Amino acid sequence: MKPVATRIRALGLTPGLWMLPFAIDHQDPALADLVPLVVHTPDGKPYEATWSGTALDLTRPEARAYVQRFIRQAVHDWGYGYLKLDGLHIGMACQQTYPQRNYVDDQFGNAVFFDHTKSNMQAARMGLQAVREAAGPETFILGCCTPQNERSLGMTLGLVDAMRVGPDSGVQWSGVVEGVRCASALYFLNGRVWWNDPDAIYARNAMPLNEVQCFAGWVALTGMLNNQTDWAPDYSPERVELLRRTMPNHQLPSVRPVDLFKHDPARMWVLTYEVGGATRTVVGLFNWTDEPTDVEVASQRCGLRADAEHAALEFWSNELVPPFRGTLRQHLPARSGRILAVRELADHPVLLGTSRHVTQGAVDVVEEQWDAAHQTLSGVGRVVGRDPYELRILTIGGPEPRTPWRAAKVELSAEDRQAGATAELAGDGSLARLRILAPNSRNVRWTVSFFGPHEAE
């Protein structure tokens, strides 16, 4: 185990282990010494649950010490810094109800603990506290999972870094939607109490591209745990590229569903963030159904001024949405999503979006500033080494009829040029596209000069 972890760390990655820490198989001869440490039923038998095994009695100091020994071994002796703890309900000594969303009798309370003064919930938290103490604060712990009459919510609060909030999704669309539904219902916990894990993004080549884009885009926009557990070496370069555009997590708490109480799961989400004192808005529209649909959303519901005109750029298609006022209208094919970077029209060019991430700027746009005197738009972007980076600049604004500003030239800072960064401009009607390439990851400072709408070159 240790050589594997060492090899993984040498690649700059964090090795992880899946485990079911709070149960044993009491019928396994190799574990005979642990049988005295299990919970019992009222008639004196070892307490068992379907799939999860025999419950350790976590009110016993010896049981907690046993758990801490193998946690310390995995983390500190072998070097695994990421633990997925599955079957957590067995720590409460209750029956498996997964994956029911509604309440199901799990015989909670029908267990006999060593310490009769402790409840099932207290016993489980004692066990999880022992895990956290042994693992240390730097270890990333993913708990699994909440579809257990939500008892696992109370058990894990404050003790895990992330939590599976839905059942296994697999590669079936119905499973994906169920994970989205569960994570949406608990969106307010994400990034505050822990990171919601709606289950992994599967991008295998056999899955329809629209389904992968829809779910991967939703995970990236909402800032949920971006979990990859599939065998990536089998992915095509196009699928790998798709996943790259969902990383890293933006970690912003300012994302919310717009229609949570109207649709289940919500199909409209809004992310806002600030750059240079200006609020930037990203709108995600998702069709979780098997039929195409037309979506209308009022600008105000997205945090936009109702009396202002806006333009938008859709990420997956890289297409400009015509200016709209008051209401955003989009057509969504079945099982699809659209991620729109939205900006209010100004009387000068503005940065509408970028190519690095689904959010089109939330993880990479550091600065943006318009200099009216010199007619320049400048900014700073976090550029990934050897990854082509494109800034998409909206060049139209003001009242109709609109004549676009024309990009004249681009300059990078002297430091960036010395570091090998290069840039080129391309025109695209209402958009100017600035393409930057740097040999190493760095913050690149750029400036684009413009000719006014009616100014001669």
Distance in angstroms (rounded) separating the CA atoms of residues 87 and 422:
51
CATH assignment at residue 448: 2.60.220
Burial label for 293, CB within 10 Å (0-12, 13-18, 19+), is middle
The model's confidence at residue 397, banded by pLDDT at 50, 70 and 90, is confident
Asked whether the CA dihedral 325, 323, 211, 230 is positive or negative, the reply is negative
Distance in angstroms (rounded) separating the CA atoms of residues 24 and 185:
33
Note whether residue 286 is domain-resident.
Answer: no
Claim to verify: residue 230 and residue 361 sit in the same structural domain: no
What pLDDT sits at residue 391? 98
Nearest CA among 406, 408, 416 for reference residue 446: 416
Q: What is the pLDDT of residues 59-95, one digit of tens each?
A: 999 999 999 999 999 999 999 999 999 999 999 999 9
Q: 1 is written with which tokens?
A: 């185990």
Note whether residue 28 is domain-resident.
Answer: yes
What pLDDT sits at residue 14? 96
Nearest CA among 369, 195, 362 for reference residue 271: 362
Domain count, the chain: 2
Note whether residue 114 is domain-resident.
Answer: yes
Mean pLDDT calculated for residue range 353-371? 98
Q: Reduced to 3 DSSP states, what percent helix, strand and coil does the chain have, rounded to the nearest 5?
A: 25, 30, 45
Q: What is the pLDDT of residues 209-230, one digit of tens each?
A: 999 999 999 999 999 999 988 9
Distance in angstroms (rounded) separating the CA atoms of residues 369 and 353:
14
> Which of residues 248, 275, 292 is at a domain's end?
248
What pLDDT sits at residue 398? 75
Claim to verify: residue 204 and residue 59 sit in the same structural domain: yes
Mean pLDDT calculated for residue range 410-415? 98
**Average pLDDT of the residues of the chain:** 95
Is 142 within 8 Å of 160 (Cβ atoms)?
yes
Distance in angstroms (rounded) separating the CA atoms of residues 76 and 71:
8
- What global pTM score does this model have? 0.96
Q: Position of tokens 């557990």?
A: 229
Distance in angstroms (rounded) separating the CA atoms of residues 317 and 240:
17
> Which of residues 248, 273, 292 is at a domain's end?
248
* CB proximity list for 247: less than 8 A, separation 6 or greater: 220, 226, 357
The model's confidence at residue 254, banded by pLDDT at 50, 70 and 90, is very high
Distance set, CA 41 to CA 28, 37, 97, 109 (Å): 19, 13, 18, 10
Claim to verify: residue 18 and residue 143 sit in the same structural domain: yes
Note whether residue 359 is domain-resident.
Answer: yes
Is 21 within 8 Å of 85 (Cβ atoms)?
yes
Claim to verify: residue 240 and residue 365 sit in the same structural domain: no
Claim to verify: residue 25 and residue 170 sit in the same structural domain: yes
Q: What is the pLDDT of residues 227-248, one digit of tens each?
A: 988 999 999 999 999 999 999 9
Note whether residue 325 is domain-resident.
Answer: no
Claim to verify: residue 218 and residue 354 sit in the same structural domain: no
Query: What is the C-alpha end-to-end distance of the chain, expressed in Å?
Result: 66
Q: Please tell me what DSSP assigns to residue 431.
A: E
What pLDDT sits at residue 402? 87
Mean pLDDT calculated for residue range 254-273? 97
Note whether residue 451 is domain-resident.
Answer: yes
Claim to verify: residue 24 and residue 145 sit in the same structural domain: yes
Q: What is the pLDDT of residues 139-193, one digit of tens each?
A: 999 999 877 777 888 899 999 999 999 889 989 999 999 999 999 999 999 999 9
Note whether residue 271 is domain-resident.
Answer: no
* CB proximity list for 53: less than 8 A, separation 6 or greater: 20, 23, 24, 25, 87, 90
What pLDDT sits at residue 205? 94
What pLDDT sits at residue 219? 98
What pLDDT sits at residue 429? 83
Note whether residue 397 is domain-resident.
Answer: yes
Please give the residue range of the domain that contains residue 56.
2-248
Q: Please tell me what DSSP assigns to residue 194.
A: B
Claim to verify: residue 36 and residue 182 sit in the same structural domain: yes
